[in-house]
Amino acid sequence: MLASKAHVDNTICYMGFITDRMPTYMPVIGISFDLPGQKRRVKSLLLIFFVLTISLCAQAEDKMIIRASIPAGLAPPLLIEKGDKKEGLIVDYTNALAEILGRKAQFSVVTRYRLLGYLLKGQMDILCYTSPLWDSSQDKMDFSKTLFIKREIVIGQAPMPKTVEGLKGKTLGTMLQYVYPTLDPYFSTGKINREDNVSEEANLKKLLHGRIQYVVTDQIFLDYFRLKNPDITKNRQTIFLKDYPIICSTSRLGRVTKKDLDNAITKLKSSGKLELLFKKYGSTMINGE
């Protein structure tokens, strides 16, 4: 018998392959046999045993994996894709949460219109970049405590007006199909114009090269962009628009409970590790709770 073992949680699962050189006595289970028929029966029973063992071990190992979804189209540093490899702030702090839970995270980048369905069906366990201010599935999902605050701002040439009212008649670089609660009443009435683009980076590059005067962005994106483009904030100022509490939504059919995730978030934040992850990408974490 050629045997190997896999450690799953605190259980050791043994997996083996039966060879033709079967012993006539099995001291572990106290079975002896001499006839060919007995040998075949024991061999069959052992084969069934090992198949069941492998299946149970695989199921146990699956439960150790947290299936984490990430919305497609997020800009760096939230998501950085290098071929099949996924990196970035969301990957980092989700991995840290999984580690606290004694688990491993497995990531899938999912289009926004499929995210809710996957979570509702239990095909994904968690989504750790959403907000109760834009996510309407609170009655169907469990929402965690706040991870951090996403701060929405307008950046433009100094001196900037003190309020949004001062931007009347201006054109702002915006994201295609994005909703801006503070600005949408101005956009819908034509008091402020929006110029859509497909990425945060493209908007900030237009601002950097003077092809647009104002851009709606996120403090995290701006901080990360500034690492390689320090002139982006030269002679420019910002206006605060809105804060969004970022949380994890948890599938009620998934492998992670809200209670366990909340405890992990508390430990991650109190340890200071979440703040260090933000600094890795040139940003400062804004705490929510």
| CB neighbour list of residue 241: distance below 8 Å, 6 or more residues apart | 152, 153, 154, 164, 180, 182, 183, 216
* For residue 249, pLDDT beyond 90: yes
pLDDT in tens, 156-195: 999 999 999 999 999 999 999 899 999 999 999 999 999 9
Mean pLDDT of 124-136: 94
* For residue 16, pLDDT beyond 90: no
Mean pLDDT of 201-221: 97
Q: Which domains does the chain have, with CATH numbers?
A: 2-63 (no CATH), 150-244 (3.40.190.10)
* For residue 1, pLDDT beyond 60: no
Handedness of CA 24, 27, 32, 36 (dihedral sign): negative
Q: How far apart are CA 221 and CA 226, in angstroms?
A: 9
Both tokens assigned to 125: 């366990």
* Statement: the pTM of the whole predicted model exceeds 0.85: no
Q: Would you state the pLDDT for residue 63?
A: 72
pLDDT in tens, 256-278: 999 999 999 999 999 999 999 99
Q: Would you state the pLDDT for residue 62?
A: 64
- Stated as kind and residue range, the H or E segment containing 96 is helix 89-100
